[in-house]
Amino acid sequence: MITTSGLTKVYRSRGREVTALDGVDLHVREGEVYGVIGQSGAGKSSLIRCVNLLERPTSGTVTVAGQDLTALAGRGPRAGRELRQARSRIGMVFQHFNLLSSRTVRDNVELPLEILGVSGKERTRKALELLDLVGLADKAGSYPAQLSGGQKQRVGIARALAGDPKVLLSDEATSALDPETTRSILQLLRDLNRQLGLTVLLITHEMDVVKSICDSAALMEKGRIVESGTVSELLATPGSELAAALFPVGGEATGDERTVVDVTFHGEAATRPVISQLSRTYNIDISILGAAIDTVGGLQVGRMRIELPGRYEDNVVPIGFLREQGLQIDVVGPARSALVKEGAQ
């Protein structure tokens, strides 16, 4: 549904060049919720603004629903009209709501329909329908100043849906909200994704957002995507930075003659007593240094850091047993805090 290829964005100011995007290749499948995560300055906002051409890419292509948007940019009046039509099928939700304070809630939702030339009666019908969809039917006559932050964001979402988009872009839509309101907005986005068949691309710096609703995710650093895939694929990838960030576990070896292992449980394995089976089968004492468990995409997923007695070569068979149980195993170097792939030492 959304594909970028070799996407580059360079900002020029006072003789200086800053590369915000450096050859980004991204593919978001139809009907999924895709999260792009990274720290401030990673290029997330530039990426999402290039997807609907609010920012013109320096080079590369953006294709949405099979249409190359970059091919329409700057190609004359006809191409300009086609680009505006294409943009109308892409909804955008902003971090700071961007509501007009002088307009009622209903009028704010009607605004994009006015721009599209929809008649007054049809605009009103559509706006009320969308406000009901986001749970604000009783606030149609209110003004933004009378709403809470979560309610304002729901109005922003309703407005973004006014043009019946196929794609919804979310630019840090929950970062200005408290945790409880954030959860309700994320649930709303997931519900809309399922009810309307929307493809949702969201950017965030919060791992909980990815954990809560994303089917797939990408990690951005310095304008590049350094890791991407479905959440289940990432959890099964040795040394995945995203997987480790989603389920952080701590703890270091208590001595030189110890082996520390990170174990990732997902699917049916998450409910089996694998660690106790390992201890009984090989008659070894296992120390649990840290653990985290949560639900991702409706499936229980967890990570556990355990310590086994002896060096790595003494634990090849027990580690093999864990792998046979369908678990993802990453061996942690005894003198290092970073994860390393088994056998890398």
Give tens-digit pLDDT for 90-106. 999 988 888 999 999 99
Write the CATH number for 31. Answer: 3.40.50.300
In the chain the first and final C-alpha atoms are separated, in Å, by: 41
120 pLDDT more than 50: yes
297 pLDDT more than 70: no
Domain presence at residue 128: yes
Domain presence at residue 222: yes
Q: Which of 192, 209, 235 is the last residue of a domain?
A: 235
| Single pTM value for the model | 0.83
Percentage of the chain lying above the pLDDT 70 cut: 92
Residues 51-73, mean pLDDT to the nearest whole number? 89
Residues 122 and 70 in one domain: yes
Residues 130 and 278 in one domain: no
- Tokens standing for residue 170: 């979310």
Residues 206 and 301 in one domain: no
Write the CATH number for 303. Answer: 3.30.70.260
The region of weakest confidence among 13-17, 46-50, 178-182 is 13-17
Question: Cα dist. 304→264, 336, 342 in Å?
Answer: 7, 17, 16
* Angstrom distance (rounded) from CA 85 to CA 87: 5
Residues 118 and 197 in one domain: yes
Number of domains the chain contains: 2
Question: Cα dist. 251→193, 245, 256, 333, 340 in Å?
Answer: 39, 15, 14, 12, 15
Residues 61-85, mean pLDDT to the nearest whole number? 78
What confidence tier does 337 reach under pLDDT thresholds 50, 70, 90?
Answer: very low
Domain presence at residue 342: no
Query: Which pLDDT score, from 0 to 100, does residue 100 have?
Result: 94
> Largest Cα–Cα distance of the chain, in whole Å?
76
Q: Which of 235, 260, 287 is the last residue of a domain?
A: 235
312 pLDDT more than 50: yes
Q: Which of 235, 263, 289 is the last residue of a domain?
A: 235
- Mapped onto helix, strand or coil, the DSSP state of residue 167 is strand
Query: Which pLDDT score, from 0 to 100, does residue 256 have?
Result: 81
What confidence tier does 248 reach under pLDDT thresholds 50, 70, 90?
Answer: confident
* Angstrom distance (rounded) from CA 345 to CA 331: 10
Residue predicted with more confidence, 271 or 97:
97
Domain enclosing residue 307, as ranges: 247-333
Convert the pLDDT of each residue in 184-241 to its tens digit. Answer: 999 999 999 999 999 999 999 888 888 888 999 999 999 999 999 988 788 777 778 8
Strand 224-230 relative to strand 287-296: parallel, antiparallel, unpaired? unpaired
Question: Cα dist. 194→15, 133, 159, 216 in Å?
Answer: 47, 13, 18, 15
